[in-house]
Structure 1
């Protein structure tokens, strides 16, 4: 078999079971592809020794007939997940040299299932960003290009390294995390599938925290079936995470029938934004038509508090970030600044944080500290929390009225060029999250499915939002959409 790295998880799993290929062969194909793609800057800590060791163990396990679905499949791990003995930096200078003595629950569950870790993937620093331009490792490059234009494009963020690596076939799948759209937006920008499960479905233990009430891990894969396979391995109750749900994990793949007859799909009128590109508008309408043709009932719905979602998110997320990032002080782990004669502990904190945190992280920490300060706590933070409750209630009302899933665009545009949205106006960058943040604020599952190309040949995604804990149903609706859209485009290889 040629081009083993281009296989999907499902194809590779079946080939492994049939004895057509070994995990070592799959892993070697991916390692070779990774080494030939340094220009994309997706993998930042390569772990070939660990990968080959796990691949050999997986081959033994498959031979013995005791192998879960993920066994022997080579994947990448976002640098936000702590991995024992392997640098886990959250793409920040302040965690330079940090090698955890423990493994995050999600990466441990994948390892227990026999998945092969190829290395750690680039991301925005502390997951703060929508373009993967805030990383200490430098920008990740999207494998897609506009027509014949050589301009480097963003893969989206914060899980940009994961998105780029999966789209470029450097790994069969990757882990991502999503605080305000950081799985779904990069998936849409790179023509892959990304699902953020219900808050509490995947353990957050051992994942470097950004905003604890919003963060959730999920898989980034080549298609919906792969997302179902990988999500099942990542989920499950974890007593080490107090927000982890004690719920049975269904066989998500078995729920992919493609039959959505009689399902009610809501189209929220508030997501029709001023200045939305005609291509996104058309894709959305086409997606609704595809679902209707598949037997679903399309209904107009209202989510009236949507317009307050971005401002509420950009109060709550930085507030939680400023609290979570207070622990990075140069005392116990990570980087400590060089101190001058006579410097005390205050100077050590100041210098360490000034050197260790990038501009975007500093900006969010300052915003967060401000909205939590005594005079502004009620004016900003408490008000944002009340708005969040209203946003959650909007969704609850819609689902109570019988709607099974909600269809929206995933992003307000296709991938933009690196450097095109400069630091001059961070708000422009924040607007990238306009369709995704409501899902995090309400703790719901959301999935981005590639559904078409824009006029310049770049992928565009559609988002489906599901009922809480009903990822299986959501994946099945996404599967029907994927089948109808028939998206099979891949980036032309230039790297």
Structure 2
């Protein structure tokens, strides 16, 4: 009998729609897989077995139809789910059950997609390794002693471990693409404003972007089509139609890139990438050339300032957004013995509830926004952001997409970078510029180095999400998919 957990979302949807298998069978297979392997992977913080089976049964009764009806999905634990714990992997929200669904979750439910549960992550999406979860790290299915990327390591690991065919992530500086790269899965960051942030627990409001994660490019595009689109409840949501990303992915899968111009960023050369990563990227680039693409070197002179600019802008916005977690209205409340002032209770709550990386970023952000330093730090970083945006706009006058490795290195061992935050931040060296610009980008597996996956990043102009999917699917057709060792 076919192992349903090994099939693509597209194939599962076809089997369910023709009645060859039931949605309940598919959900049960994945729930059983989670029960069998997640004690080793720890991709999930909460599994909603009853809710998933109930949603699957509704599809089997014919109450909901659609391209992905009955296909189960995992959701990053920074996206609110009504009545289901949503903690952002933080002790400060331990046990919190939101009274409402995020827009993305509403769209998943409307599409008939059973939600298997909530996936692990770096606390409040701040990290590149999922080591900063308050509930323990997630392990990479390729090597359980290595990180699965971050902040969305749980979603990527769930895919790589065949615990879910699809997942939702969020990308503020690379938190969908970098985990995708180091787990051999596909992760896409849509155009900022192309997917709703309503119901997303905010980290950095001008950067946060929910997006689709899967094991194939077509599956990623199918999920993108379900969750994207205008939402009047999100003031930054773009009131324009979603590009036809599914058609673009299917076009790219034919393997024809004639006339497509790929831009190599000059400033990314000599970036300290591991030799194996560089080799896999270059080999993949040559495969795209054989499919008809043309490679052009472009200069983006301000990209080298993206990392420091990001680590002023994102912590500043985090400092503001996380001020709401004060122990007064919901979540953890520490030290309230009746003898302390409100300020003391707030301080004790935040001390007990936030982990080390979140505290580090709050302190950086509060300093950058403080009187006398705002213009020198946050203001200057925003000016750099404008220059980076202009670099992208200039580059896209010459090429259709920009390409690079997704991350400079493969999955690293646990604990090897936590003592040096800067070394951890370098994981997002290639992904951060796109977030500052606001355009879409995708990571696709392109090879192995030291037996571990390497990601290939494709960046497109704002609102040209379809363009990146075409190139991504063409690359996938040339290099294939990668299967981790059996758990």
Where does residue 439 of structure 1 map in the other structure?
434
Corresponding position: 1:270 with 2:271: no
Q: Per-residue deviation at 1:484?
A: 1.1
Where does residue 87 of structure 2 map in the other structure?
89
CA–CA distance in 1 between the matches of 2:339 and 2:13? 61
1:398 to 395, 400, 404: 395
Where does residue 113 of structure 2 map in the other structure?
115
Where does residue 463 of structure 1 map in the other structure?
457
Taking the TM superposition and a 5 Å limit, the aligned residue runs for 1:78-477 are 78-145=76-143, 152-255=145-248, 256-258=250-252, 259-401=256-398, 403-422=399-418, 424-454=419-449, 456-477=450-471
Corresponding position: 1:42 with 2:39: no
Q: Per-residue deviation at 1:97?
A: 2.0
Pick which of 11-20 and 215-224 moved more.
11-20
CA–CA distance in 2 between the matches of 1:275 and 1:126? 28
Indicate conservation of the 8 Å contact 2:68/2:111, yes or no: yes
Q: Which runs of 4+ in 1 moved over 4 A?
A: none
CA–CA distance in 2 between the matches of 1:5 and 1:285? 32
Residues 190-242 of structure 1: CA deviation (Å, up to 9, x unaligned): 00000000000000000000000000000110110001100000101000000
Q: Per-residue deviation at 1:288?
A: 1.8
Where does residue 76 of structure 1 map in the other structure?
74
Where does residue 148 of structure 1 map in the other structure?
none
**3-state DSSP class of the match of 2:251?**
coil
Q: Per-residue deviation at 1:70?
A: 1.5
Indicate conservation of the 8 Å contact 2:445/2:482, yes or no: no
Indicate conservation of the 8 Å contact 2:263/2:298, yes or no: yes
Q: Per-residue deviation at 1:260?
A: 1.9
Indicate conservation of the 8 Å contact 2:229/2:241, yes or no: yes
Indicate conservation of the 8 Å contact 1:70/1:110, yes or no: no
Q: Per-residue deviation at 1:112?
A: 0.5
CA–CA distance in 2 between the matches of 1:216 and 1:226? 19
**3-state DSSP class of the match of 1:76?**
strand
Question: Gaps spanning 5+ residues in structure 2: where?
Answer: none
Residues 270-313 of structure 1: CA deviation (Å, up to 9, x unaligned): 11134322112212221221111111111111111011000000
Residues 42-93 of structure 1: CA deviation (Å, up to 9, x unaligned): 11111000000000001122xx7x6111110011011000000001110000
Indicate conservation of the 8 Å contact 2:272/2:408, yes or no: no
CA–CA distance in 2 between the matches of 1:213 and 1:129? 18
Q: Per-residue deviation at 1:137?
A: 1.1
CA–CA distance in 2 between the matches of 1:447 and 1:274? 20
Task: Give the aligned CA root-mean-square deviation in angstroms.
Answer: 1.1
CA–CA distance in 2 between the matches of 1:343 and 1:278? 57
CA–CA distance in 2 between the matches of 1:489 and 1:102? 37
CA–CA distance in 2 between the matches of 1:247 and 1:261? 29
CA–CA distance in 1 between the matches of 2:271 and 2:434? 21
TM-score normalised over the length of structure 1: 0.96
CA–CA distance in 2 between the matches of 1:301 and 1:230? 32
Q: Per-residue deviation at 1:115?
A: 0.6
Corresponding position: 1:25 with 2:22: no
Q: Per-residue deviation at 1:342?
A: 2.5
Pick which of 252-261 and 384-393 moved more.
252-261
1:478 to 469, 472, 476: 472
Question: Gaps spanning 5+ residues in structure 1: where?
Answer: 146-150
CA–CA distance in 1 between the matches of 2:461 and 2:54? 40
Indicate conservation of the 8 Å contact 2:280/2:448, yes or no: no
Indicate conservation of the 8 Å contact 1:175/1:218, yes or no: yes
Indicate conservation of the 8 Å contact 2:447/2:454, yes or no: yes
Indicate conservation of the 8 Å contact 1:439/1:445, yes or no: yes
**3-state DSSP class of the match of 1:479?**
helix
Indicate conservation of the 8 Å contact 1:71/1:114, yes or no: yes
TM-score normalised over the length of structure 2: 0.97
**3-state DSSP class of the match of 1:36?**
helix
